[in-house]
Structure 1
Amino acid sequence: MIKYLFDRSMALIGLICLWPVLLVVAILIKVKMPGGPVLFTQHRIGKDGKLFTMYKFRSMTMSHSGSSISVAGESRITPLGAVLRKYKLDELPELWNVLIGDMSFVGPRPDVPGYADSLQGEDRLILKLRPGITGPASLKYANEEEILATVNDPIKYNDEIIFPDKVRINLNYYYHHTFLGDIKLIFQTIFRSYELAEIPQNNK
């Protein structure tokens, strides 16, 4: 209950304090990326396996038909979008998801249905958690797009290496998370004081 109240109150404060930033980013998207919406919306799997709509600032072109796996430098990511993604500004609208109770500040990143449906056995305990803007797996793989840019088959590498590791980390978080631990993860996210995943070598 403390975490839920903290999430909603801090999300409201964040939206109030950051509205000038939200407005500037929205205007930049309209000017630099015309012909499409400011927000990108997508169905994700939330707490107890329920679908919800996640909101982000749009960072890609409208004409792409790419996968849910993003790779640094790919053409569908616009120059402005690359900047937004680098500094995580594209995720600011998720504060609304936290405010309305779909998400938490800290928790497993919400997956698209295909990945969440692949969870089996004990791993499905992760779905009992409210998904988060950040979390231990998100912090470890904060450079995920750069990692995927170094391998021949990003989708295969994600499915066989990164996704299972995230599941392991998130399951450990399920068993051991605390409110104070969440506060620490929030500060680690702000200051990026976490050991990032190493970029694999000799995969090309």
Structure 2
Amino acid sequence: MFVALLVRATSGPPTVFHQRRVGEGEREFTLYKFRTMRCDCQGPEVTGGADARVTGTGRLLRRFSLDELPQLWNVLRGDMTLVGPRPEVPHLAHRYPPNCRWVLRHRPGLTGPCQLRTRSDATLLDGRPDPEEYYLTVLVPHRVALDAEFLAHATLPDVVRLIARTFWYVLSAVRRDARTAHTVEGGGSRCAP
């Protein structure tokens, strides 16, 4: 509720963003997220690290993965699972390299090895003349390889471990931000170039 109120107060309506995504067996479903981008901007289907469409509040929500919370509804509905491949937009899913399309047969997850280990990939899209093409030819094969490694041994302990790593990532992001704020406010030599 707090996140919804924050988005509404800083960015206006709508609070929740919904978009068609490709799910298990390449069937489409509606994915829900807290809105992190401006409504009046057009651009590529992929979001770079310095994408001007992302709001200030949106950057904060993305840093802590709080924008993903409404996807718990997708998990409850059976569209998604807690751990699995990243859900893809249809426009990009249809353009996946042929040797990567197999991943679209699997139920997408709220978190997973791809979501955890490729978080910084968004910065690789910045300044590319065609960020979608770079995403499809360079990033997708890498992400699908991570998913293949997980799906080959998707045991209950592996699922629990990835959920724990997701919580740890969020808590670590909070601690990193708190340390950064303390260092900047302290004005000590640690801030000097």
Report the TM-score when normalising by structure 2: 0.80
Seen in structure 2, the aligned counterparts of structure 1 residues 148 and 123 have a Cα distance that, compared at 3 Å, is closer
Contact 1:123 1:171 in 2 (8 A): no
**Which shows bigger deviation, 120-129 or 48-57?**
120-129
Q: 2:4 aligns with which of 26, 43, 56?
A: 26
Residues 134 and 57 of structure 1, relative CA distance in 2, 3 Å threshold: same
Q: Distance in 2 between matches of 1:128 and 1:75?
A: 33
Equivalent of residue 22 in structure 2, options 22, 45, 49: 45
Q: Which of the two has higher C-alpha Rg? A: 2
SS of structure 2 residue aligned to 1:166: helix
Structure 2 spans left out of the alignment, 5+ residues = 171-193
Runs of 4 or more above 4 Å deviation: 119-122, 150-153
**2-side partners of 1:77 and 1:115: how far apart?**
20
Match of 1:67 among 44, 47, 62: 44
**Deviating more after overlay: 147-156 vs 175-184:** 147-156
**Which sits farther off after the overlay, 145-154 or 62-71?**
145-154
**Is 1:95 matched with 2:72?**
yes
* Cα offset, 1:47, TM superposition: 0.7
Distance in 1 (CA, whole Å) between partners of 2:84 and 2:9 is: 34
Shift of 1:164: 1.2
User: Pairwise mapping of residues 127-138 of structure 1 onto structure 2 (< 5 A)?
Assistant: 127-138=104-115
Structure 1: state its 5+ residue gaps. Answer: 1-22, 194-204
SS in 2 for 1:143: helix
Corresponding residue of 1:164: 141
Once the two structures are TM-superposed, the CA of residue 114 in structure 1 deviates from its matched residue by 2.6
Q: What's the TM-score, normalizing by structure 1?
A: 0.76
CA pair 120-146 structure 1, distance change in 2 beyond 3 A: closer
C-alpha distance in 1 between matches for 2:7 and 2:162: 30
RMSD: 2.0
